[in-house]
Amino acid sequence: MFGYVASPNFPQGYPENVDQSWELRVPSGFAIHLTLVHLDIEMSEGCSFDALNVSTDDELLATLCGEKDYEALRVEVNPKLQSQFGSLTLSFRSDYSNPKRHIGFSAYYTAVVNCSGQIFTSLSGIVSSPILHGHYPENSACVYQLEVDDGFQLIIGFTGVFDIEGEDGNCIDQLRVQYHCTIFPFLFCGKSNLMSSVQRIFGGKKANEGNFPWQVFFMEPRGGGSLISDQWVLTAAHVAEAETLKMYAGRMNINGPEGVELHAAEKIIHPNYQIHSKPQYNYDNDIALIKLEEKVKLGPQISPICLPKNKQSDELQNGEIGLIAGWGVTEERKLAEDLMYAEIPVVNMDFCKSVKPKSSKIKPENFIFTENMFCAGMSGTDSCQGDSGGAFAVPDMNTDDYHIKGIISWGIGCGSYGVYTKVANYLGWIEDTMLQNQD
């Protein structure tokens, strides 16, 4: 739908004492775009002599006079001449004198589907395709943006009829739903079927399927990691630095058939992590991201854990309880075959500093402690060799969704206290890395 409108006698020149209006209307569901092609109206201060007014039902869009070429109209004027409400009014007036001949104006208008640029911020509502005579219009290109504040999730449900043209399974017409984010790559995360209270991995308990669906098993090197999306694994830098990575998601027993093998497309170790010879005393910035070659299929046994919301709100407090899981050394001093888990509290860093090594070759005074680390554990309950890279997972008090507050990093011995990488300190790096390396 389109049309043309021009001042009287265009282009010979408009007469004196003109007062004429044009009402442009299109069906419901459409907007009007007005495009001025010519504009030559007597110039006056405030357009008080001759003028073209363009307005909607309740808003004056422009008052125009003077002379502008097409390029100036295209850039400066025409973008303003749009109505989202299906109606537009043009009012042209001239006074009693026109000392110089001015040709007036000419314009064309088009009706476009009124469905883009809408932003929905209510906690609930209805969004639908435009309707014309019972059907959606041809050549529609609609964009709807739904936004909610931090802490809320968007859930979209289809009601009534869903009827979009398709032929042999090909979407000729299509509805595409995209999730745009900064840090959090998924609408759901941190879901666990671990309902009962956790008993007192070193001093731990055998996990069941679905307890830790984000857990990634590193067979080579022996360690752990966490899915934070369907294509990204978060782990410790000293795990990811290995030349060969053999990983599994959804696995419970290291020799079991369950789960899927994951293949690394690339690994990104934090740029400030320093690789040291053994024994290693500096584990600052012990964090890495691994991008998978293919997106893993998610379900109850395989799903991501949530990242912290922000550094301030996720500041860990002494006594805060978290869950750790892994296939590391157990209290029997052997590597676990089944996924084990334990519940441990955050404690003051002095507890980790006070642990005495069993080997005289280890010099505890050489270990580096920074603000990027925290200490957690208790006597008889700790992470150990083979658990590195796994999550220190803390449930949200309101939603019970688990967030990865820490990464199992290092410790002096096993069975008491261990040091964890503080994930909230690296949210910016995680976000930037994922955005820069997205498909």
Active site residues: 238, 286, 388
Positive or negative torsion for Cα 347, 348, 352, 355: negative
Q: With H, G, I as helix, E, B as strand and everything else as coil, classify residue 182.
A: coil
CB burial string 124-162: b at 16+ within 10 A, e below: eeeeebbeeeeebbeeeebeeeeeeeeeeeeeeeeeeee
Contact 53, 28 (CB under 8 A): no
Cis ω on the peptide bond leading into residue 308 (within 30° of 0)? no
What does the alpha-carbon distance between residue 28 and residue 19 come to, in Å, rounded to a whole number? 29
What does the alpha-carbon distance between residue 241 and residue 286 come to, in Å, rounded to a whole number? 10
Q: In 177-316, where does DSSP find H-type helix?
A: 237-240
CA-based angle 375:403:230, to the nearest 5?
125
Residues paired with residue 266 on neighbouring β-strands, in sequence order: 291
Contact 270, 288 (CB under 8 A): yes
Contact 228, 305 (CB under 8 A): yes
Q: How many CB atoms lie within 10 A of CB 107?
A: 23
Residues found in the chain? 439
What does the alpha-carbon distance between residue 347 and residue 375 come to, in Å, rounded to a whole number? 6
First to last CA, the chain: 39
| Strands 19-25, 143-146: pairing kind | unpaired
Q: With H, G, I as helix, E, B as strand and everything else as coil, classify residue 238.
A: helix
Q: How far is CA 141 from CA 50, 112, 129, 137, 322, in A?
A: 38, 9, 10, 10, 47
CA nearest 5: which of 54, 47, 42, 44? 54
CA nearest 212: which of 227, 229, 233, 199? 227
